[in-house]
Amino acid sequence: MTKPESTLRSIALEQPATIRVFERFHLDYCCGGHRPLAEACAQKGVDLNEVLAGLAEATVAEPAAVDLTQATLAELIRHIVQTHHSYVRAELPRLLPLAAKVAAKHGHAHPELDLVQRQLLALAGELTFHLDKEERILFPYVEALEQCINGHGGAPHACFATVVSPIQAMIQEHETAAVVLAEMRVVTRSFTAPEGACPTYVGLFHGLDAFERDLHRHVHLENNLLFPRAIDLEKEALTAQ
């Protein structure tokens, strides 16, 4: 049974089916996952009992939700890349022209659309670079660490002193992306298109809403699961030398 004093991070890790409830109430379980549930609800102005009921219902409805806490780091990385990195790379080229089109047609009446377009364009560049750094530098190092611990090769060499350095940089970039999307949500009234909006307008907001939700799941897996395990693994590898 979920307790009010449990952190959002621990709830999401132990019961992945609860993530959709956090998304529904816009409770930050990734970057802000260290907060107790009761505190997070109070800060967001949502009813704690209503959230607890939703969490209970989610865990009953989906008892067989995928538990990635039992995956190897290589399996976890593969899931992140194939599920979330692929999603980002597929969605950004679709959302960017939609944002440009909607801003050009409706920006005079809704100036927030110009802000959304500029923010999305900047975010696309930052996220693309971010994914490349993870896939080319950080993730291969973590996988090599795991192989080393399992007796398949020596400790890997890297362009950083310890894995903590790139992980801290990735976490900071996660937080920046989350802030940008949160700002978009505020100026668009939770990605709510005005009455009578055209399908392109509605489609853009629906896509941005889904993009933010996927990013939350993506960041949760990295910040709360992959990164702490990678740091511990590196310490174990260095101790074994």
Q: How confident is the model at residue 121 (pLDDT cuts 50, 70, 90)?
A: very high
pLDDT at 63: 44
Q: What is the residue whose two structure tokens read 């629906």?
A: 206
| Helical spans, DSSP H, in the chain | 8-14, 19-24, 37-44, 48-61, 73-79, 86-106, 112-133, 139-149, 164-187, 199-221, 227-240
- Asked if residue 102 has pLDDT above 70, the reply is yes
The pTM score is 0.85
Q: What is the pLDDT of residues 156-171, one digit of tens each?
A: 788 898 999 999 999 9
CB atoms within 10 A of CB 9: 19
